[in-house]
Amino acid sequence: MITKENYFAKAKGVDFNNSPETLYEGHHFVSFLSDNGKDWSSYDESAVIRKTVDLYFEKVQQFLKAGRIIKLPVKNAPAKKAVKPAKKSKSISVRSIVASKQPVTYSVKKSLELEDIEKYLKLNGKEVSSTSLLILSRTIAKRLREKTYKQHIELLENINGRLAKAVELLQSRKLTKIKATMDLDIVSKCQKAIEAAQVVLRTDYLAGNDLTVANEIYRQIGKKAFFMLGAKNFIGDKDSLSFKIRGSKAVSHIKIKLNSMDLYDVTFYKIVGDEIKNEKTVPGLYFDMLHDTIEEETGLYTSLGAAKKSKAKQVKPVSKKKVVKASLSGVELMQDIPKPNLTEAINEAFGWTQPVKPVNHIEKPNVATKSDSLFKPITHIETRETFNLKGDLGKFLGNLERYELSMTIEGDQGAGKTQFAFQLADAFAQAGYEVGFFSLEIGAGSDIIKRNRDKYLSPQGLKRVLIAGDAPKGIDTIREYAPKFGVIIIDSFTKLNADSREFDKLRKDFPETIWIVLFQRTSGGTIRGGTAPLFDAGINIEVVKEDETFLNNYAVATKNRYGMTGLKFNISQQKIV
């Protein structure tokens, strides 16, 4: 009988390349699933995977007994005519990434300060997405806070201030793209800093040997996803990874490229013969958005449990005027950039001197009538009550309004997100709110929960805070209990396996419920599932892990429609520092 303990020993002498397709696919599935027998956790934890693999083991056992599987020749056997290996290798391995042939080039090694100044300067005169601005702003703010920069501190603080104001205005107006035109003063200062820098030239073997980025992309996508896509023919480059897939009518090749903003541009090709028939680029993706984007564009799935939500969008050709030869390295990417949508306030905040009129300007603003179901006179808005929480936490959050109030909390592991959530729960309980705490990460009966309860909850908190360790129906469970509580805390949203856009739907559908939602971070420092909640929430809070003692960890509001940003709230001391 074949089991996970003896499978690779029994399969050692089997030539799966020349075996039936079912066994060939099954062997490679088991290989990547278990990391060649080193890690069977997926098998142990998933009943579906375990049942599938066990059926495959039974099939292998039947073929072995029947003698139908081709055995590999013994090393000492007489030499026979060599059997050509299969042309289409389906195994997936980092070793299979082949470097594209390019000559040795030279590049400049710069400090972090100069890199970030250059990134900011490159925005001048270009169409820039609000997401790109947010990433650059948070990167510079974090490095300033952690004192990573050693020079040009004043200039970088100036840049950070401009970026922060622009991001806040963009988020409040929900604009997605802008055209950056900076004033001459900031441009001059950036150029002087770059020109005065002492740089060191180094030989950089780009695509010839340096596959660091390609291997990192491969690792982040995951070999399980590549297997599901039927990926093969991997080509690594200095800043990209290209590969061929099978099973998709719309896409035959994919190229994933790391851009200058440390985001991914993904290009989908439909190649027939030596011509590119279709080509589409999806720019500016976080790596945790790659799976969803690939599934949407190809119609394939990147995991066994992927839900079939909708059919893949048909890839439309960018241009039919010109036939481009099918070379994944060196293909010029063509994409339409939408017209800018700006306001004078954004121009002023970002230091831009050339205001651009907003697109689709409404020339007749008084179009709403008394019977209009969408527009209402602005005078109909009633004054709502505002409130402040007690103590330093109240100063930290500001003058709050219950209507559609929502907060996001993010941070690295061990920073203190859950502890901070308990402090918020107690503060709202003391303000008279019933609090529903979904502890989906830790559970409801953990000793960690008991310790946080005893440390952070007051007598009022013990009466008004209720906790659940599960959401059996996912987001539907949250919706079921939303009307029953004044405050809902979710730790964390990732455990719901819900689309990030559900966050804003909860806020809109239950405007009288206050939402406090914790998000896991990816290895790239962004929240899992996309950044949409950061734009929708009224308050974005980052919990910073200052050191390993926890004593100096603090929360800081990176966005706050109700109060100040930049204040540091020490989680251990429960006060502003």
Give the residue from 310, 286, 284, 288 showing the smallest Cα distance to 297: 310
Residue 106 has what pLDDT? 33
Mean predicted confidence (pLDDT) in 467-481: 93
| Domain residue limits, the chain | 7-75, 212-298, 386-576
| Averaged pLDDT, 416-427 | 94
Which residues are CB-contacts of 524 (< 8 A; sequence separation ≥ 6)?
A: 262, 286, 287, 288
Q: For domain 386-576, which architecture applies?
A: 3-Layer(aba) Sandwich (3.40)
Q: What is the pLDDT of residue 429?
A: 95
Q: How far is CA 133 from the centre of its chain?
A: 16
Average pLDDT over residues 228-236: 85
User: Among 392, 391, 255, 397, which Cα is nearest to 332's?
Assistant: 255
- Does the structure show a pLDDT above 80 at 91? no
Summarised one tens digit per residue, pLDDT across range 562-572 is 998 889 999 99
Q: What is the pTM of this model?
A: 0.41
Element (H, E) at 460: helix 459-464
pLDDT of residue 516: 96
- Is the pLDDT assigned to residue 410 strictly greater than 60? yes
Confidence of residue 335 (pLDDT cuts 50, 70, 90): very low
Structure token digits, residue 575:
């006060």
Flag whether pLDDT at 546 surpasses 90: no
- Per-residue confidence at 88, pLDDT binned at 50, 70, 90? very low
pLDDT in the model for residue 72: 53
> Could you tell me which residue, 515 or 147, shows the higher pLDDT?
515
Look up residue 67 and give its two tokens: 């003698």
Q: What are residue 128's DSSP bridge partners?
A: 178
As a whole number of Å, the CA-based R_g of the chain is 28
Q: What is the mean pLDDT of residues 141-158?
A: 85
Which pLDDT score is estimated for 528? Answer: 72
**Closest to 11 (Cα-Cα) out of 559, 237, 140, 3:** 3
Considering the chain, what is the average pLDDT of its residues? 76
pLDDT of residue 13: 73
Q: Beta strands of 149-252 (E only): which ranges?
A: 177-179, 200-204, 232-236, 240-244
CA 133/CA 177 separation, integer angstroms = 10
Q: Which residue has the higher pLDDT, 447 or 66?
A: 447
242: pLDDT strictly greater than 50: yes
Q: Is the pLDDT of residue 485 over 80?
A: yes
**Beta strand ranges found along 358-482 (DSSP E):** 386-387, 400-401, 406-411, 435-439, 465-468
Tell me what pLDDT residue 358 has: 41
Selection from 315, 289, 313, 292 nearest residue 302 by Cα: 292
> pLDDT tens for residues 303-314?
766 544 444 444
Mean pLDDT of 178-197: 80
Residue 270, beta-bridge partner list: 278
- The band of 468, judged by pLDDT with boundaries at 50, 70 and 90, is very high
Is the pLDDT assigned to residue 556 strictly greater than 60?
A: yes
